[in-house]
Structure 1
Amino acid sequence: MEKTALEKSQYPIGKFMAPESYSAEYLTAKIEEIASFPERLKKEILHLTEEQLETPYRQDGWTIRQVIHHCADSHMNCFVRIKWALTEENPTIKFYYENLWAELHDNLTMPIQPTLSLLEGLHFRLTYLMKNLSEVDLEKSFIHPENSTEFKIKEIIGTYAWHGNHHLAHITTLKKQKGW
């Protein structure tokens, strides 16, 4: 089925596709993508002007500034969710309204440098934790309250590697379209 222009702009790398199996090789590759995300992001946005940071990646989409801050918001939630899954028996996590968070004053106006620094430290901790998970840990899970879906930690590793790449593609696609 052909993707619409809106779908292409919303999902430039496509929607997350779970692998048939979460092999050690797959997880190692995804953890490396998570580890490298802050540096790859910084490389793409380092020389953008304030005006460029205020540019939405698509019509009615978030600005690049909001996308950067959203990645920190989302990945902080990921870190906490993994910690809950490791320390509690299949906990129900706290849902957050990412669209409302994106509209808060800090996400709309704050400089990006503190968020880039936060992402560096956060991703170091995330990958340090992920690299040291046992087979038993990878099977631990939490419940997402939005639709009562259970997510295993091994699934979250793949999802968040995709999430970083997904938002990075929003930025790189816009840069290419604008010739930046």
Structure 2
Amino acid sequence: MENTQNLETLKFPIGHFTKPDLISEKDIKNWIETIEMFPSKLKNTVSNLSAEELNWKYRPEGWKIKQVIHHCADSHINSFIRFKLALTEDNPTIKPYDESKWAELIDGNCDDISSSLLILEGVHTRWTMLLKSFDTSDLAKTFIHPESKKTYKLKEIIGLYAWHCNHHFAHIEQALMHKGKF
């Protein structure tokens, strides 16, 4: 039982995302700040890592640091597009993707993380600009995720992606702390 709990802690070092029952303006502001700061926080932590360090895993059977970075670029591109779809269409159905398969493609498993860091910097700059412009009606706009068959409001997705930034940053810190010894 303890081994299962330990693996869960390694997989979710900051816990699972929990949407507050009531999302306040302060929550939104803090989440946007987390999204805004993520690329520089990430770059400061990973830009001087060696190829060996970039290949360290954060847990048994988990991704390597480089895959986490490439995944964040892929995921955040998709999220930015989903936000724009929700802002310009009436409750669109978004397109899911298989993140595990994407992480195994050559660009998701490459030791050169510079392009993904640049993607994150550019996407987060534009995403933050967009998020900071939201009014109450924008925060209430929605999209449908076909896998869960649920409708999500943009205000809760802002929180999810702030969590996503912190979640994967914690994975990288975990891999570095354990020197990839999993």
2:80 alignment counterpart: 79
Give the distance between the partners of 1:147 and 1:19, measured in 2 at CA.
19
| CA deviation map 1:97-147 (0-9, x unaligned) | 111111101111251011111111110111100000110010000000002
Question: Quick check: 126-135 or 42-51, which moved more?
Answer: 42-51
Identity %: 51
2:42 alignment counterpart: 41
1:101 matched to 2:102: yes
1:50 alignment counterpart: 51
Gaps of 5+ in 2: none
1:19 matched to 2:17: no
Runs (4 or more) in structure 1 with deviation over 6 Å come to: none
What count of residue pairs does the alignment treat as equivalent? Answer: 178
| CA deviation map 1:38-57 (0-9, x unaligned) | 01111111221101101111
Give the distance between the partners of 1:74 and 1:81, measured in 2 at CA.
10
- Alpha-carbon RMSD across the aligned residues, in angstroms, is 1.3
Give the distance between the partners of 1:152 and 1:35, measured in 2 at CA.
20
TM-score by length of 2: 0.94
Aligned CA distance change for structure 1 residues 173 and 110 (closer, same or farther; 3 Å) = closer
1:169 alignment counterpart: 170
TM-score by length of 1: 0.95
Contact 2:35 2:162 in 1 (8 A): yes
Contact 2:96 2:145 in 1 (8 A): yes
Contact 2:53 2:179 in 1 (8 A): no
Gaps of 5+ in 1: none
| CA deviation map 1:124-175 (0-9, x unaligned) | 1111000001100100000000021111000110000000100000011221
